[in-house]
Structure 1
Amino acid sequence: MSIKSFQRYEKKFILDKNQYDMLIPKLLEYMNPDKYCKDGQNYSIFNIYYDTKHSDVIRHSISKPFYKEKLRLRSYTIPKNINDKVFLELKKKINGIVNKRRISLTLEEAYKFLKFGYRPVSTDYLNNQVINEIQYYLSKNKVTPTVYIGYSRKAFFCKNDPDFRLTFDSHITARRNDLHLESGLYGYDILGENNYLMEVKILGAIPVWFTKILSELKIYNTHYSKYGNEFMAHCLNNQNNNLKGEEIIC
């Protein structure tokens, strides 16, 4: 069982394929591919987000509050058995600063903790601190598996500043059934074909060279939440499928 904790700012941008194709060669002058992008290839990320019966977590999140938090179960491979490693993350955002607390567990430990409240056993002080935080969150929020979101990612680190990182997510796929990491990546596309979600992850200021490239390619900052956009698409789909024309509170 391992722990990871960090704070950072995140800025988001939506790129079309033309912008993406022009941006990548320019980035390579200043940045190196992430170590997980083996031979320049993308890697995959699979998530299950937890929410209440009435979607209180995501409702609060999209209202742009000063403080918000989300619980998700994450894997970088499709688990094959209950002993495969996964990550349980509590992601908090306070006035624009992202704080992520996470622990590495077996899939069995994670499912037992989340479904039945069986606390994972650890002799490590910091691990137990994170477990305490997640356990407290679960005691205050009656959450269950709500949506699966997976995507393909390409990532870069700045050569001169390892705290400056870029990620590009594409083929962002979601579903609200079969909420198991073992089931793999399938569902409906929530970003759109040939679109890319670029996230700037940084502890300090964005480099000047990067802002110049963004200006040159007319790439502008936007607001985008994978779970938030999935939720709004889910609500719209429910309304469109309401054959009786009754109002749906989503």
Structure 2
Amino acid sequence: MSKDVFQRKEVKYLLTLEQYETIRQGLVGHMQPDMYGRSLIQSVYLDTPDRSIAVRYDGKQVYKEKLRVRRYVPANSNVVPAADCDAVFVELKKKFKGITYKRRVHVNEGVAGALMLADKSYLDALDAFMPARSVLGEPARTAKSVQIASELVATRDRYEGLCPSMLINAVRVAWEPVGASDANIHSEETAGIGDVRITFDESIEYADLQHISREAAAQDFGSCFEAPSHRLLEDGLVLMEVKVLGAYPMWLSELLSSAKAVKSSYTKYGNAVRAHLSGTEAAA
């Protein structure tokens, strides 16, 4: 079962291919790629017409938040998921004093569009687009999912005219501690210093979505994922993100030091907006 609530530090590093290879080799024995392997991560960021959320991320505010709809596709597949397999996560990501909090519900594209762009209530969106006894339908109706959805709706209602703003595509490999799947070390009861997850994003691309109307996206949210994209992160760079609840393990700190990895404030959504407005197709 997917985890729908996260609380952790998320630290980013922009790596050269040489640094990436050094770190990747150093992870062996401590960590391993998770069960999904290489995946195409597609994220549709929602914002106001004047992109007030993106503007907030350009500063050094103590509190920041993002609303997005994300789907996962096997990176080695050229087949777009079928209509009955259009599972997505609707996510609220908040950052306060360096700690990231993420809440999400696992639904389908129809529910995502109705909930975030047509101002429907969560239960009304489920009734309209997700049968109660479907694979996603029953988990989506649990008390926990309904509570998370109420937070999504409250955030949605604070932004007038919320609409699709930007699509971000990235090919990702996520690493987890060796034995994590068997030991379930990511459970809330055992989270701690050893609860480390590392992601590597390559081939990061973006597509401006403001030409897609709020009404059209509400009716066919899947169209947002198909927009033609442009290169965002230049060739030869990899975006690494270390996700950890507590302190880094000593071996990881030493590995990052040996690779001369430097922390970065790089944000995919913020950089995509800047690249689009400046007319550039690659930004480091």
TM-score (norm 1): 0.86
Paired AA for residue 139 in structure 1: D
CA distance 1:79–1:119, change in 2 (3 Å)? farther
Paired residue for 1:173?
205
Query: Partner residue of 2:51?
Result: 55
Measured in 1, the distance between the counterparts of 2:167 and 2:206 equals 5
In the TM superposition, residue 20 of structure 1 has moved relative to its aligned partner by 1.2
Change (3 A) 1:107 1:83: farther
State the AA in 1 paired with 2:195. Answer: D
Tell me the residue number matched to 1:146: 165
**CA deviation map 1:34-76 (0-9, x unaligned):** 1111xxxx11111100011111001011212111111000000
SS at match of 1:19: helix
Would the aligned equivalents of 1:10 and 1:98 in 2 still touch at CA under 8 Å?
Answer: yes
The superposition leaves residues 143-192 of structure 1 with CA deviations (integer Å, 9 ceiling, x where unpaired) of 11010001100111123865111100010110014765454474111111
Report the AA paired with residue 270 of structure 2.
Answer: G
Query: Deviation at 1:195?
Result: 1.0
Could you say what the CA RMSD is over the residues aligned between the two structures, in angstroms?
2.2
5+ residue gaps, structure 1, are: 239-250
Distance 1:217 1:113 in 2: 44
Q: Would you say how many aligned residue pairs link Structure 1 and Structure 2? A: 234
8 A Cα contact 1:82 1:108, kept in partner: no
Whether contact under 8 Å (1:46, 1:185) holds in the other structure is: no
Deviation at 1:83, TM superposition (A): 5.6
1:29 aligns with 29
CA positional deviation for 1:107: 1.1
Q: 1:224 to 1:155 in 2, by over 3 A?
A: same
Q: Once the two structures are superposed, what CA deviation does each residue of 1:206-243 show, in whole Å capped at 9, x if it has no partner?
A: 111111112212111111100011112122229xxxxx
- Equivalent in 154, 161, 177 of residue 158 of structure 1: 177
Using the alignment, how far apart are the partners of 1:123 and 1:17 within structure 2? 44
Q: What letter corresponds to residue 210 of structure 1 in structure 2? A: L
Q: 1:153 to 1:2 in 2, by over 3 A?
A: closer
Counterpart secondary structure, 1:205: coil
Aligned counterpart, 1:99 = 101
Candidates 260, 263, 279, aligned match of 1:221? 263
Query: In the TM superposition, what whole-angstrom CA distance separates every residue of 1:20-44 from its partner, at most 9, and x where no partner exists?
Result: 122211111211111111xxxx111
The SS at the match of 2:4 is strand
Distance 2:33 2:246 in 1: 20
Q: Which residue of 1 aligns with 2:216?
A: none
Separation in structure 1 between the aligned mates of residue 35 and residue 2 of structure 2, nearest angstrom: 19
